[in-house]
Structure 1
């Protein structure tokens, strides 16, 4: 009987984890699908209400704080795509798949179309917030770079106007 209970618990745990992984991938796919359309459009402003639906409140607050600094150089490109601009023709190359567990959340692999038929590989770190999976961190794997929005030292230097 104990063995049966243990097997049932293991199966339920596997189902819950798989569901979280699938939900995180779907949420990242939904975000990037709509975000790239806005970024590639004439009016590249993405509605704040939609950002709050897909992105962690802490991350949004950090981005807003950094962007309010005069002459900051912490965010030199778009935080979510690591690009300066986005061509509508590249949207069809979007691929979102394969999530791996990370600190109670998921890291979702995102491949963005860029110039010359190439792709830019980023990782979207997802965590559960307000009942849904939200992006809290994005890392550029292609160029092995991450915007330092969580680097307190870099932020302090930028606030003091000593950033380069």
Structure 2
């Protein structure tokens, strides 16, 4: 059997298939072939990419560490509580770990009650992306004695990925009697 005969036979089978299926059946076959092609060329590579990204995310989560607290020799006695200094050090270590640039920091101290509790209010301005901000806020949850008071997020242009963030938080310390 020659190639010409096979080509003729294939043409005849296609005509017969069109006659048997009709217009809607042929449209269904075309849609079925299109969906198979989309699955092979779009969904499968996307699933592979998602798998690779999830493995990378799990690896990065395993490597993430809590920022170290400073050694006692690095804490200077300048009238402020060492635990507030440790808190500030941890706060900036968390921001640096996520690659966040802090542009301005202000704080004030208030004494509550009979002087046994000191509350420090800290306001910091920074520039960060959405993923950096999410990781930083997750890290903030590990700090004890801290309360997040207010967060302001703004973006100059809808196309920008960098956010201007202002975070206001308070830190309470109980003084020994």
* TM-score bin, normalised by smaller chain: 0.3 to 0.5
More helix by percentage: 2
TM-score when normalising by structure 2: 0.34
TM-score when normalising by structure 1: 0.35
